[in-house]
Structure 1
């Protein structure tokens, strides 16, 4: 399921902080918890608003640009769509492959350990996804490259769906600390997220502390670009996208407002 060449792309990215972040923290448990909260809403949104026709699933291909543990790719592959997934984190790809093998989905799901700023699937696809704030962690030019690859991955008039924080809401209701518990009740993991705005850099910097049931602490830092809707739309236009529809959440598919939970942009190649 892996392309050996893809490993070289990932290894060339060793200077990127997220390689250590995702491998040195219990992030699979975190993803299972947080992704599970809106999993069905996202799938319903894709069927209702992204032209996923179950009657034509054999002819529809999908690229999950930063697939993580394939939370969305696995059910789409199980439904019968051809899904390509890429992620730079070996831990995520290994777990996604384990789950795909358990569900016997190897024929419909192709996973690559690679950098999404350089990778393209082996064929043009109908739908490319970038979900769960998987975009915006690099410098501006590298972020643009990821959007450019998304555009290049699509057939003419193909759909790109970008899911990003609504920074109008984040900034107006800024929360320095967020604490939550994840994992099973008999072995919970406490996650403490401390956020700091860096306005001169245009970044949201976060320190994540994971405390397991035995008191062991794992601490990592992350940095996310602060992009407001107009800036993201300009970036998407710059790499060739057009015909934009902007939503505010997956559950209701309501039009974007400044107080919407998310910023979800649908664009055409």
Structure 2
């Protein structure tokens, strides 16, 4: 039996439930961080990168389904942007999952994290100069492709890359979060299926069960927060989460 299936009691699973709940609350409200937080925890516990990413994406298949339905109910989704993100995102996700399953993508990770940290700092600055005039984003499809690839290859990155860059282009924070979260369901489903073909079912650990339980419980609440939190505060919180998580993972990657 794999050592990653050693969690056999409710007491042992509870920390993962708590992490899944907290990560999904952040992700549902801000459009990012579930993959980053959950994947970082599994890596810290010693789970190999490909197996950690596969497990997290399996959980996200369920949490993003609930989150997407909730965002749709609260009318947080721009459907035109949804399709512009979803289709290239799925393509990028398949490529990224294949790369991570067969190659070492760690070499470029520090550069990606440094970029995301700089975007986080910019969003913090933007939040103090809000309201800026909202604009329709011009660069959408490339973000979907790159975000999907990095999400699969890096175990997280769809939200940080796509949400942050759409906000930088002037998109509405509420509609951006809802649209990105809803499109993520199709991305995570595709990535999980690709990992199964490359790694088999043994890639999914019992630790992911706790993340799944906590994430599904929290998913409906994130969309409500995205609807109710003022746009300026939402942008500020996105900047804080993106900067802190990127800086921490950059430190872990280069130390």
Q: TM-score range by the shorter chain?
A: under 0.3
Higher relative helix content: 2
TM-score (norm 1): 0.26
Relative contact order higher in (CA < 8 Å, ≥ 6 apart): 2
Higher relative strand content: 1
TM-score (norm 2): 0.28
